[in-house]
Amino acid sequence: MSYPPVITASSGRQFAASAVGLLAFIINEQEQILMLSSPKHPGKWEPPNGAYDGNETILEGLQREIREEAGDQIQVRPLCALHVYSFRYDDIVQYMVSIAYLFVYEGGAVVPGDDMAGSEYRWLNLAEVNSGTYDIIVPRKQPWLFQRAVELYRLLKDAPPVEQQPDWTGIRNKYDD
């Protein structure tokens, strides 16, 4: 099934229109990944994640999801995009794009926010992720992604900060005119 495209105003070029999910891998100094229990699915675990709302940069959307799920007190530093993939969400959203992003935990309390009210949280190491003890529902059956997160964390954790995506509102595309 094909979905209606988004068509540019200037040239009429067509682009695929897809829902976008955001996934935040937050890693601490002990190389543990922040996981929250799902209030909708008791006994299941996931890193902070949610939907991209638009009218924000990808990084702003990720930071919003982190605040909504891990609370306002947590401090994180963005490192890099970790992985981008597409998957089937349901019968209506058959093609969803997911952007997994890597963050360094810089401090602050984890206090599950409104989206995760009543959740528990844990910092899991790779052995715990791979043990099968925790039923991880997001990302489902992708333990290699947790491994990649830790490997990239090791490479980039001490790198100086880089400028992230600037606010794009009001910026003209180089193809405009």
From 84, 108, 104, select the one nearest 96 (Cα to Cα).
84
The phi, psi pair for 97, rounded to 5°, reads -100, 135
Instruction: Indicate if the pLDDT at residue 141 is higher than 50.
Output: yes
Token pair of 64 as six digits? 């919003």
For domain 17-156, the question of CATH label 3.60.130.10 is answered with no
Query: What value, to the nearest 5°, has the Cα angle with vertex 50 and ends 47 and 53?
Result: 150
Per residue in 40-65, pLDDT tens?
898 999 999 999 998 899 999 999 99
Instruction: Indicate if the pLDDT at residue 168 is higher than 60.
Output: no
The rounded distance, in Å, linking the Cα atoms of 139 and 61 is 18
Instruction: Indicate if the pLDDT at residue 67 is higher than 50.
Output: yes
pTM over 0.85: yes
